[in-house]
C-alpha cells in the first residue's frame, strides 16, 4: 500500500471525525500510522491489536482475567495474544470470553524465539517450540493454517528482532508486517518497516506490544466492522485497515513496567 493509499484509507476512517491535519498526513506517509489518542472509533469501524502479552509471558504479569475489561475500555474489538513461546494464555483468554459471553474476539498467537530472532504466528492450535530455525518456525505456523507476522523487525535495539538475512529468506512466506509498534525504540524504525512492506507488497498491522495492562490499546488497526474468526477474514480486513496508535518512549515504557511489577508485589504482601 502506497503513502497515498494509506492516506486515503486514513481519511475514510476519519470521515466522521475532523479531516487529517498536515501533521497527520505526514504521519501516515512517514510512519504508516495515524498517531492518535482517540479511543472510540465510529460505529461502523473497529480496532484490532495483533501483538500483546499476558502473564503467560515470562516478562509480563498482566492477569488474563483483566484483559477483557481493559480491551473494552480501549474499544479493542479483536485482540491477538502473542506470548513469548507460549499459547496457553491466549487459549485461556479465549475460553474466558466464550464462557462469559464477552464480545472480545481473541486470536491465539505466539511470539516464537527462533535461532535468528522472533516471529509471530497467529491462529495457532499448538505451541511452537523455541530454538528452531526461522524457516522451520514459519513452516510449523503454516502447517497449522496460521499466519506469519513480522514484529518490530527493523529496530536494532530490539535484542530479539528477526535478523535481516533471516527476514529475506522467509520474506515470501510473511503475510503481515507490523509497521506500527508502540514500543519501538524510535518511530523511524516503524517507517523502515513501512518501506519494506511496500517493497514486498505485504499487508500492514499495528501492535501495542503490551507488557502491562495499561499498555493494552496503545496501537491498533482500524478496519470496517466485521467478524474476524479465521485467517482469511483477518487478511481481508487488513486490506482496508489503517494502522493507528500512540508511541511511547522506551524509557517511559520500562518505567511503567517496573511500576506495574511493584504494584503487583505490594498487593501480594
Question: Over its length of 269 residues, how does the chain's per-residue pLDDT go in tens digits?
Answer: 555 665 555 555 444 334 455 555 555 554 555 555 556 777 789 999 999 999 999 999 999 999 999 999 999 999 999 999 999 999 999 999 999 999 999 999 999 999 999 999 999 999 999 999 999 999 999 999 999 999 987 888 888 999 999 999 999 999 999 999 988 877 778 889 999 999 999 999 999 999 999 899 999 999 999 999 999 999 999 998 889 887 664 434 444 444 444 545 455 55
Task: Look at residue 254 in the predicted model and tell me its pLDDT.
Answer: 43
Task: Look at residue 240 in the predicted model and tell me its pLDDT.
Answer: 82
Cα–Cα dist 139/59, whole Å? 26
Cα–Cα dist 216/246, whole Å? 11
Architecture of domain 43-261: Alpha-Beta Barrel (3.20)
Instruction: Give the DSSP per-residue string, 13-58.
Output: HTTTSPPPPHHHHHHHHHHSSEE-------TTEEEEE--B--TTST
Tell me which residue of 266, 243, 264 sits closest to 33, measured CA to CA: 243
pTM comes to 0.80
Evaluate the CA torsion angle 19, 22, 23, 28 in order and state its sign: positive
Task: Look at residue 78 in the predicted model and tell me its pLDDT.
Answer: 98
Tally of CB atoms within 10 A around 152 = 26
Task: Look at residue 36 in the predicted model and tell me its pLDDT.
Answer: 59
Measured in residues, the chain has a length of: 269
Radius of gyration of the chain (CA): 17
- Is 247 strand, coil or helix? coil
Amino acid at each position: 500500500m502506497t503513502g497515498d493509499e494509506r492516506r486515503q484509507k486514513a481519511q475514510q476512517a476519519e470521515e466522521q471525525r475532523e479531516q487529517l491535519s498536515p501533521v497527520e498526513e505526514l504521519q501516515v506517509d512517514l510512519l504508516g500510522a495515524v498517531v492518535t489518542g482517540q479511543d472510540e472509533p465510529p460505529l461502523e469501524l473497529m480496532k484490532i491489536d495483533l501483538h500483546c502479552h499476558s502473564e503467560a509471558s515470562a516478562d509480563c504479569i498482566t492477569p488474563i482475567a483483566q484483559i477483557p475489561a481493559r480491551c473494552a475500555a480501549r474499544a479493542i474489538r479483536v485482540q491477538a495474544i502473542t506470548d513469548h513461546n507460549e499459547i496457553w494464555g491466549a487459549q485461556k483468554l479465549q475460553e474466558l470470553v466464550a464462557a462469559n459471553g464477552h464480545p472480545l474476539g481473541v486470536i491465539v498467537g505466539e511470539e516464537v524465539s527462533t535461532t535468528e530472532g522472533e516471529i509471530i504466528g497467529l491462529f495457532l492450535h499448538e505451541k511452537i517450540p523455541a530454538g528452531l530455525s526461522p524457516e522451520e518456525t514459519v513452516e510449523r505456523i503454516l502447517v497449522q493454517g496460521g499466519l506469519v507476522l513480522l514484529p518490530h523487525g527493523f529496530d536494532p535495539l530490539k535484542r530479539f528482532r528477526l535478523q535481516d538475512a533471516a527476514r529475506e529468506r522467509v520474506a515470501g512466506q510473511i503475510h503481515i508486517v507490523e509497521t506500527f509498534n508502540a514500543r519501538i525504540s524510535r518511530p523511524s524504525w516503524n517507517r523502515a518497516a513501512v518501506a519494506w512492506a511496500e517493497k514486498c507488497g505485504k499487508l500492514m498491522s499495528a501492535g501495542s506490544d503490551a507488557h502491562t495492562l495499561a499498555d493494552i490499546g496503545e496501537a491498533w488497526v482500524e478496519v470496517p466492522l466485521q467478524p474476524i474468526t479465521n485467517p482469511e477474514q483477518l487478511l481481508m480486513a487488513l486490506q482496508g485497515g489503517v494502522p493507528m496508535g500512540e508511541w511511547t518512549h522506551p524509557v517511559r515504557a520500562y518505567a511503567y513496567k517496573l511500576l506495574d511489577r511493584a504494584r503487583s508485589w505490594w498487593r501480594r504482601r
